[in-house]
Structure 1
């Protein structure tokens, strides 16, 4: 017999007082009073377990927002784009002016049966990560296979900027050769400038260093040497060294799978151009500050080149505009306050420093908020805007 039945029997059948029953059974008298009242109204139904769910949930998301989360998930997944909680949160904030935590989004996706837990995956914190500080400091390259609707095999060659994840060149070919690598690399240089270094695997189209010393440099290595570009190759059997371009190709293939299978090489190139535009300009990237798009980071920062001095005087740091409308920057051991404007309070920014030349950029939009030369003798770097309301000139 349950404790509830024993209490009801003791109070209503035996006639014992509620205070005495509370002491005997180790329960509160208020609970006994509620139980007796419920038993009087409902009978034996009062002994059935009841939900502890609160009658109201003031912090619960509106149903319209929950429906929008599920709709975004289906739309993004249908296009072959990333549709995780972080990406959905970015779209909610930038396209619908809604701020929802990734935990809430994940919870509602789980409830809708749209997420399958994968506890066997290796945690991201276990990986050793590296990234270039400036655009064009390092270009990664690789090629992957893709099959046309006719069954013909093709290869897709990709050039990716390591710092911004900007897709510099994505082209389709019957077969990637050393000549094609040089041709596409030259086109990328003409559009984006000469990079400081390149990072590739040890394929023969990229390097002959594992060919036993036969044949000397290939065409790609010779071009790097002419431009003074540093060549970096991954360690054999370590594909994670070129992980960024490998991950880019995975994202590309996921998107291509959702498209009609191209019948010709030209049709495939048209699809690649559409994906590159979406990837660079509209798709938020989780690895970038504040999930910015690759184009925002690539176009807002100074570019490295073979002659760039990459030392501590060229820095990139992140900050948030404080309540006074400024951010802080330490130069040569001295802390400086840079005025941005109170209306930018809580805005996340990127600060680009080349010696004393300083540029402050909105991390989400790429908008330049300040571009000036820092005065090392002053603690506060004013915006130069006039303070207070403009005074009217007296009429004469």
Structure 2
């Protein structure tokens, strides 16, 4: 039996005084009187656990802002544009004069069921950060696909210094080819000097020597070998 029920039983059924019950059960007088008032008004419901949630929450995002976040996300997604929290924050600030954090937008999207869970995605804690000890020790390169607002497909190539994490080169094309990879590498090296090594994936624009022996080395591989740069 809970202490609250014992207290109520002692006073209401056994006829003991509040002062006696306070001393016997080591509880405060104010709590006893509050409990009695609640019991007399609500009967058995008085013994149910009470929510500790505050009656008001000044930091709660206004419903109008929540509705606007949902609307902006829907508009961006339907237009084929990025609809992540950072993009939504930019649109709210520049088009609606509302300032919220990206984390707030993310929480709203999750609560509204607008974010697809990815249970199989590796947690960030499982990644080991790679960082070269010296500038130009290692460059990384990769390219990503991005669709423009008019529906055009583009691919953006990046050369990144693994020591400073500085983007040495970023440029966009309709489609990345082996010739573009070689040309952007040469242009970046002319501006920043040659790296001791480069790190890429095994895409054919970066390497062909792992593709079953067909075609030999591509232009980037040939240039790196000539310059004694580790790939």
What's the TM-score bracket when you normalise by the shorter of the two chains?
Answer: 0.5 to 0.7
Contact 2:178 2:204 in 1 (8 A): no
What is the alpha-carbon distance in structure 2 between the residues aligned to residue 139 and residue 18 of structure 1?
A: 76
Alignment of 1:181 onto 2:182: no
Matched residues, number: 210
Secondary structure class of the residue paired with 2:33: helix
Q: Against the structure 1 CA distance between its residues 193 and 4, is the aligned structure 2 distance closer, same or farther, given a 3 Å change threshold?
A: same
Contact 2:181 2:205 in 1 (8 A): no
User: Unpaired segments of 5 or more residues in structure 2?
Assistant: 146-153, 161-165
What is the alpha-carbon distance in structure 2 between the residues aligned to residue 97 and residue 133 of structure 1?
A: 43
What is the alpha-carbon distance in structure 2 between the residues aligned to residue 127 and residue 120 of structure 1?
A: 18
What is the alpha-carbon distance in structure 2 between the residues aligned to residue 128 and residue 113 of structure 1?
A: 32
Secondary structure class of the residue paired with 1:7: helix
Secondary structure class of the residue paired with 1:58: coil
Residue of structure 1 equivalent to 2:148:
none
User: Unpaired segments of 5 or more residues in structure 1?
Assistant: 145-155, 234-396
Note the alpha carbon deviations across 1:320-340, whole angstroms, 9 max, x for none: xxxxxxxxxxxxxxxxxxxxx
What is the alpha-carbon distance in structure 1 between the residues aligned to residue 214 and residue 43 of structure 2?
A: 94
Secondary structure class of the residue paired with 1:53: coil
Residue of structure 2 equivalent to 1:16:
16
What is the alpha-carbon distance in structure 2 between the residues aligned to residue 143 and residue 57 of structure 1?
A: 43
- What is the CA-CA distance between 1:130 and the residue it aligns to? 3.8
1:349-388, aligned counterparts within 5 Å?
Answer: none
Q: Which of 163, 167, 170 is matched with 1:164 structurally?
A: 167
Secondary structure class of the residue paired with 1:113: coil
Secondary structure class of the residue paired with 2:174: strand
What is the alpha-carbon distance in structure 2 between the residues aligned to residue 205 and residue 100 of structure 1?
A: 39
Q: CA RMSD in A?
A: 4.7
Residue of structure 2 equivalent to 1:59:
59
What is the alpha-carbon distance in structure 2 between the residues aligned to residue 86 and residue 114 of structure 1?
A: 15
What is the alpha-carbon distance in structure 2 between the residues aligned to residue 159 and residue 169 of structure 1?
A: 6
What is the alpha-carbon distance in structure 1 between the residues aligned to residue 130 and residue 83 of structure 2?
A: 21
Residue of structure 2 equivalent to 1:36:
36
Could you say which structure has the higher helix fraction? 2
Residue of structure 1 equivalent to 2:141:
140
Note the alpha carbon deviations across 1:94-125, whole angstroms, 9 max, x for none: 664514362x4444333222345556543324
Secondary structure class of the residue paired with 1:34: helix
Secondary structure class of the residue paired with 2:167: coil
Residue of structure 2 equivalent to 1:129:
130
What is the alpha-carbon distance in structure 2 between the residues aligned to residue 191 and residue 58 of structure 1?
A: 54
Q: Against the structure 1 CA distance between its residues 38 and 129, is the aligned structure 2 distance closer, same or farther, given a 3 Å change threshold?
A: same
Could you say which structure has the higher strand fraction? 1
Residue of structure 1 equivalent to 2:6:
6
Q: Against the structure 1 CA distance between its residues 72 and 217, is the aligned structure 2 distance closer, same or farther, given a 3 Å change threshold?
A: same
Note the alpha carbon deviations across 1:43-93, whole angstroms, 9 max, x for none: 44434443332111122222233333333444444435262x555556556
Contact 1:199 1:231 in 2 (8 A): no
Note the alpha carbon deviations across 1:214-259, whole angstroms, 9 max, x for none: 9986444556689x6x7553xxxxxxxxxxxxxxxxxxxxxxxxxx
What is the alpha-carbon distance in structure 1 between the residues aligned to residue 210 and residue 186 of structure 2?
A: 30
